[in-house]
Amino acid sequence: MSRAINATEVGNHIGELIQQVVEQQQPLIIESEGKPQVVMLSIAEYERLLSANRVEVGQTPLGRKLWQIRQQIVATGEPLLDWDEVNQEVAERRGENRQDIA
């Protein structure tokens, strides 16, 4: 279970907080103006997340092909779609009215 702390408190107690995050292996959510803004993770957890992401992308033939296509698009300078744009295009292809989807 992660906990949240105000950014001002982080500045006042950074050393203690780093030690807690590492020892307890629990993320710390840092808020600014009452809104979550960033997460502090131990380096071990961060590396685990990076590793898990790499495994998902390249472990299947489809994943490898999609990664290759993505790299080709990035190389052209063409901007990639964000999730809202992807969802909009999917809805349009399905013949759905995007305004009806929440």
d(CA 42, CA 20): 9
Q: How many C-beta neighbours within 10 Å does residue 40 have? A: 20
34 exposure class (CB count in 10 Å sphere: 0-12, 13-18, 19+): exposed
Average pLDDT, rounded, for the chain: 83
Query: Which pLDDT band, with edges at 50, 70 and 90, does 66 fall under?
Result: confident
Q: What is the pLDDT of residues 20-65, one digit of tens each?
A: 999 998 899 999 888 899 999 998 888 888 777 665 666 788 888 8
Report how far apart, in Å, the C-alpha atoms of 59 and of each of 3, 66, 68 are. 33, 11, 13
Q: What is the predicted pLDDT for the residue at 57?
A: 60
The whole-number pLDDT of residue 11 equals 85
